[in-house]
Amino acid sequence: MSQDQAQDQIRSPAPREEFIHHRSVVRSIARGQVPLKFAYAGRAAFTHDTYARTTGYREMMTSADHESRVLATAPCCGADVVDMAEIGPGNGAHSRVLLEHLHKQGLGIQRYLGVDFSAALLEISAGNLRAHFGDALAISTAVWDVESRPTSVIESWRPARGRVLACLVGHTLGNFEDPAGVLRNVARALRPGDLLLASVLLRPPAGPDEISMAAYCTAEFRSAALEPMIAVGMNANEMEFSIEYRDGTFVGEVTLPRGAQLDDVRLPSGFTFRCFMSRRFERADVIRLFARTGWALYAADVASDSDHMTVVASRAEELM
């Protein structure tokens, strides 16, 4: 059994997942940068679910309607696409809406694979999708840290014939440490001709003053952002959390007013580390990002009434 298959079978309770990531989170804190993926693992998945249900987050969620329309009108897309692999489905709320919109556009997805770093979040999303779609959608899940390496789980799951539609929507791409590395890993997990539907948020053309901080100024968001640190034993009341918009990126940082001891790591008083990062892209950067990571673009559309950009691409033969 491969490690991927073994991970696919992880359906253990949340504390198990926290235990797995404990050392990685402590090391990340000591390095000053905690990847956002830890904010979805273990118990944090439930906190994220709570946050995702708040109005602020839903407002920030990208438009499934736009994504489905751009995909349906892309010249590479056809009704033969019935197998979807979604990377980072969150709590499944956006996935459900997207699947419904795709159906309205004539794209009847029959098989669905959710892949995520967090087994706990996958349980939540798959549960929500099963509750909604029942037997109409064959749902599978698999754990995959898309930031670390490619995977064979999609290859194992894919149908004998036909293309796979991979989805990386809801601005997931902007939350990765290295979006280019992620797109390369996704390309390696697919076959040439497979499709990718992705969406990102763009920087406002008029500058940072137009950016709304509302979604990040809630108690739910703070709780969700601090979960990885709480999971390794830090006290939420002893972390000062701040968020600001710098050079096209929302950066959330924790400062420790009194220092802390984490396993064998001593964090001094005043120590600051990043625990949240979410990029806003320039349109040109998005085009280039896909083109240089092994994707042939078929559509790149910015919604007329928002800063939401949807990209439809096909995996090129060359692996970049």
Partner 1 sequence: MTMDAKETAYHAQARQALLMHRVSTEGTDPDSLRVPSDAVQDVVQGLITTVEEKVEQIVPFWANSRTSDVFSGVLWRNLAARKNVTRYYLVPSGETTRAEVQRQVADDKAHQLTSLPVPVSGADAIPAPMNTLWLIDDCLVVRQEPGGGDQAPWLVTSRQAELTRARRLMRAAAARASLGLPAGPDLTASLLESAELLRISARLSCAGTRFIDEHDCAWYHGIWQYLRLFNMVSSPTWHTTFYLDKLRAAIHDRGARRILISGTADYTTLAFVLMAARDRFGKAPADLEVHVVDLCLTPLQACRWFADKHQIKIQTHQADITQEDDSQPADFQHPKPFDLVIADAFLTRFTRKSAESVLSRWWDLLRPGGGVLTTVRLHPRNEYPDQDNIDLDFGTECRVADPVDNFELRLRERAADWQDMLPIDLEELSRAGRKYADRMISNDLGDADAIKKTFEENQFELAEAVAAPVRGELVGTEYLRVVALRPGGGPVIAT
Please check whether residue 19 is in contact with residue 255, taking contact to mean a CB–CB distance below 8 angstroms. Answer: no
Give the amino acid at 307.
D
Out of 30, 76, 97, 251, name the contact with partner 1 by CB under 8 A: 76
Window of 21-29, 106-114, 165-173, 298-306 that interacts with partner 1 by CB under 8 A: 298-306
Residue type, 26: V
75 binds partner 1 (CB under 8 A): yes
Residue reference for tokens 């959710």: 114
Q: Is 287 in the site for partner 1 (CB under 8 A)?
A: yes
> Where does this chain touch partner 1 (CB under 8 A) — which range of 126-134, 241-249, 250-258, 289-297?
289-297
Give the residue, chosen from 160, 284, 304, 305, that forms a contact with partner 1 under the rule CB under 8 A.
Answer: 284
Residues in contact with partner 1, counted by CB under 8 A, come to a total of: 33
Is 189 an interacting residue with respect to partner 1 (CB under 8 A)? yes
* 314 lines the binding site for partner 1 (CB under 8 A): yes
Nearer to partner 1, 27 or 288 (CB): 288
CA–CA distance, 310 with 305 (Å, rounded to integer): 13
Contacts 24+ apart (CB under 8 A), 8-14: 8/141, 8/142, 8/143, 8/153, 10/119, 10/143, 11/119, 11/123, 12/119, 14/42, 14/43, 14/45, 14/46, 14/120
Q: In this structure, what DSSP letter does residue 117 have?
A: S
Query: Which window, 19-27, 121-129, 138-146, 286-294, contacts partner 1 (CB under 8 A)?
Result: 286-294
CB atoms within 10 A of CB 184: 18
Q: Which stretch binds partner 1 (CB under 8 A): 90-98, 102-110, 191-199, 208-216?
A: 191-199
- Contact in structure between 42 and 231 (CB atoms under 8 Å): yes
> Considering the complex, what minimum distance in angstroms separates the CB of residue 142 from partner 1?
14
* Cα–Cα distance measured from residue 320 to residue 166, given in angstroms and rounded to the nearest whole number: 18
> How crowded is the C-beta side of 299, counted as CA atoms within 13 Å?
24
Per CB under 8 A, the list member of 105, 151, 293, 310 interacting with partner 1 is: 151
Q: Which stretch binds partner 1 (CB under 8 A): 90-98, 218-226, 260-268, 280-288?
A: 280-288
Work out which of 45, 187, 198, 231 binds partner 1, going by CB under 8 A: 187
Q: Which residues bind partner 1 (CB under 8 A)?
A: 2-3, 75-76, 149-152, 154-155, 187-193, 283-284, 287-288, 291-292, 296-301, 314, 317-319
